[in-house]
Amino acid sequence: MMRKKDFDFEVNVGLRKRDSDVEVIKELVDFLIMNLYEPDEEVICKVNTRKIKKLGLAKEAINWGDLSCREVEKKNGVYIVYIEEASEDCSNLKNYIESWLKKWGWKAVVVTNW
């Protein structure tokens, strides 16, 4: 996983290209989404109900079977993160993703849709 300051350092020393930032954001969002699940013997992974309740996601309209980051685009220094299979009004899901990205130094806005 990559914080913004680590990304900038790697760009400055030539280890990474500046335009790879969108892919880094997508990987971080995919990680955060997968963090909402837990391993399971029969279905490989299932929703972590304890975590979902704690984050206030239990009552939001989310298709847990296909929740994913579809696309990330950069506009004026802000990353627009498009997450599929969640209602447009999933404010807790948006806040969960946006707050972690902010903690890691990235400016992002999450858009959810079916």
- Per-position pLDDT tens, the chain of length 114: 799 999 999 999 999 998 899 999 999 999 999 999 999 888 888 999 999 999 999 999 999 999 999 999 999 999 999 999 999 999 999 999 999 999 999 999 999 999
Q: Which of 62, 73, 56, 58 is nearest to 22 (CA)?
A: 73
- Tell me what pLDDT residue 44 has: 85
Tell me the CATH number for domain 4-113: 3.30.300
Instruction: Specify the pLDDT at position 42.
Output: 87
Helix then strand then coil, % of the chain, to nearest 5: 40, 25, 35
Q: What is the pLDDT of residue 43?
A: 81
